[in-house]
Amino acid sequence: MFNLAEMKDTIKIEPSGFRKKKAQAITDEINRKYANKVLQDVGLCIAMHDILYASEGFIHHGDGCSYVTVHFRLVIFRPFVGEIITGKIRSCNQEGVRVTLGFFDDIFIPYHYLQENSEFNADEQVWVWMYDENEMFMDLEETIRFRVESEQFFDTSPSVRPKKEGVDTPDLSANSAKQAPYSLTCSIHGDGLGLLSWWGA
Amino acid sequence: MEILQTNSAMLSNYEVMSLLADQKAQRIANEVAGTREVAENLRTVEFEVQKYLAASPCSTQSGDQIRELKKAFKDYELMKVELLQILNLRPKSAVELLLVIEEFEERFALDDCEKMLSIIAKALPRDDDEEMVEGGEEEVAENA
């Protein structure tokens, strides 16, 4: 579920940070810059793991900040394809089921990856697994075990997004896609997958 | 910013949990009055990850237990990711164990499943499933 990524970056330490220990000041700045952010093709950054190397601080003309080149490792959330994870059901709709881990919400189980003979109950807005004669409801907030099938990265930086034809509005939010930068497509098709209660746990 | 290597090592949930706790303690110990506050984004992700991990099996694990588990599984040729999943999910039943081990039937005998489950239950003890484990043992005894 979690792994390490090795990175190199120039970190800016403001003068107020000079009173801290150097390692702590660097750690704080790296966490400020990376924690809870998605890096393209890397994953969701959680926190700094360790510093491998840090240069001396450089101070530029007209700027009181110290710039340090740092070699460090980050803890990254990026489950491998095929990994089994448990989460909670956040919402259900016709398309499938959304799952959350608390710190990561962009997990989707499309309807064709649900258990065989699953039906959407429109009255209660939940999916139901018809197992033999039994109706197994997938209620919200229930703990669910699922397998990662694929991952998608989507570059949300404004510069590379293609301009929509004929749309020229100064309202930037209208242009911005609602797509998540990093999302997982998962399945619960198979023995042992789905709500924990189905499998007697 | 330069990404030198992604996925340079895999971490178990337990390692992440202890790292976050260590970092928090260190941060508090090194706190200097008048410097910038802890970044909001770090606090958010730290809180949420810790909440998730506290509810997962790794909350009661320790370094010794994990070493013990690794030693106990030495005889089985498990892949690293399989061991990692066993650690993170702590399977309690056969169906859970088969989920994280690929092609179980071809690689292992059927009674290996029981053995692995008892290794896991022994190496990574938890209070909340004591009843279950005891119940399971009784069943085995009766069958014998």
Indicate which CATH number applies to the domain containing B118.
Answer: 1.20.1250.40
pLDDT at A50: 93
Do residue B36 and residue B96 come from a single domain? no
Compute the C-alpha angle A173/A177/A183, nearest 5°. 135
Q: Which residues contact A193 (CB under 8 A, 6 or more apart)?
A: A84, A115, A145, A146, A147, A187, B99
* Of the candidates A72, A80, A3, A77, the residue with the CA atom closest to the CA atom of residue A33: A72
Do residue B71 and residue B133 come from a single domain? yes
A164 interface with B at CB cutoff 8 Å: no
Do residue B19 and residue B68 come from a single domain? no
Task: Work out the minimum CA distance from B126 to partner chain A, whole angstroms.
Answer: 14
Q: Band of the pLDDT at A176, cuts 50, 70, 90?
A: low
CATH superfamily of A84-158+179-199: Nucleic acid-binding proteins (2.40.50.140)
Q: Could you tell me which chain A residue has the CA closest to the CA of B99?
A: A192
A144 interface with B at CB cutoff 8 Å: no
Query: Is residue B130 scored above 60 in pLDDT?
Result: no
Indicate the domain borders of chain A.
Answer: 2-77, 84-158+179-199
Do residue B80 and residue B118 come from a single domain? yes
Looking at the domain assignment, is residue B3 inside a domain? no
Tallying the residues shown for chain A, one arrives at 201
Q: With an 8 Å Cβ cutoff, are A103 and B6 in contact?
A: no
Do residue B45 and residue B90 come from a single domain? no
Span A165-178, average pLDDT: 56
Looking at the domain assignment, is residue B5 inside a domain? no
Query: Is residue B132 scored above 50 in pLDDT?
Result: no
* Of the candidates A108, A115, A107, A113, the residue with the CA atom closest to the CA atom of residue A136: A115
B chain contacts of residue A191, beta-carbon cutoff 8 Å: 95, 98-99
**Residues B56-105 pLDDT 10s:** 888 888 888 888 888 888 888 888 888 899 889 888 888 888 888 888 88
pLDDT at B104: 82
Looking at the domain assignment, is residue B2 inside a domain? no
Do residue B139 and residue B68 come from a single domain? yes
Mind giving me the DSSP string for A20-69? S-HHHHHHHHHHHHHTT-EETTTEEEEEEEEEEEE---EE-TT---EEEE
Do residue B65 and residue B132 come from a single domain? yes
Query: Is residue A174 scored above 80 in pLDDT?
Result: no
Q: With an 8 Å Cβ cutoff, are A7 and B52 in contact?
A: no
Do residue B22 and residue B81 come from a single domain? no
**Residues A186-200 pLDDT 10s:** 999 988 898 888 887
Do residue B50 and residue B69 come from a single domain? no
**Residues B109-124 pLDDT 10s:** 888 888 888 888 888 8
pLDDT at A168: 56
Domain count, chain B: 2
CATH architecture of A2-77: 2-Layer Sandwich (3.30)
Q: With an 8 Å Cβ cutoff, are B44 and A32 in contact?
A: no
**A134-137 and A143-153: which strand pairing?**
unpaired
Do residue B102 and residue B129 come from a single domain? yes
Q: With an 8 Å Cβ cutoff, are A192 and B36 in contact?
A: no
Most distant pair of Cα atoms in chain A: their distance: 77
Query: Is residue A148 scored above 60 in pLDDT?
Result: yes
pLDDT at A105: 92
**Residues B15-49 pLDDT 10s:** 999 999 999 998 888 887 767 678 889 999 999 99
B chain contacts of residue A50, beta-carbon cutoff 8 Å: none
Q: With an 8 Å Cβ cutoff, are B45 and A17 in contact?
A: no
Which ipTM did the prediction report? Answer: 0.83
Looking at the domain assignment, is residue B82 inside a domain? yes
**Residues A83-133 pLDDT 10s:** 999 999 999 989 999 999 999 999 999 999 998 888 888 888 889 888 888
Q: Band of the pLDDT at B141, cuts 50, 70, 90?
A: very low
Of A5, A32, A199, the CB nearest to B39: A32
Q: With an 8 Å Cβ cutoff, are B46 and A102 in contact?
A: no
Looking at the domain assignment, is residue B4 inside a domain? no
**Residues A36-89 pLDDT 10s:** 999 999 999 999 999 999 999 999 999 999 999 999 999 999 999 999 999 999
> What is the overall mean pLDDT for chain B?
82
Span A179-184, average pLDDT: 89
pLDDT at A169: 55
Q: Could you tell me which chain A residue has the CA closest to the CA of B5?
A: A6
Do residue B68 and residue B114 come from a single domain? yes
* Of the candidates B118, B114, B115, B113, the residue with the CA atom closest to the CA atom of residue B133: B118
Query: Containing domain of residue B121, as a range?
Result: 61-143
Q: With an 8 Å Cβ cutoff, are A16 and B56 in contact?
A: no
Give the integer Cα–Cα distance in Å for B57 and B48. 16
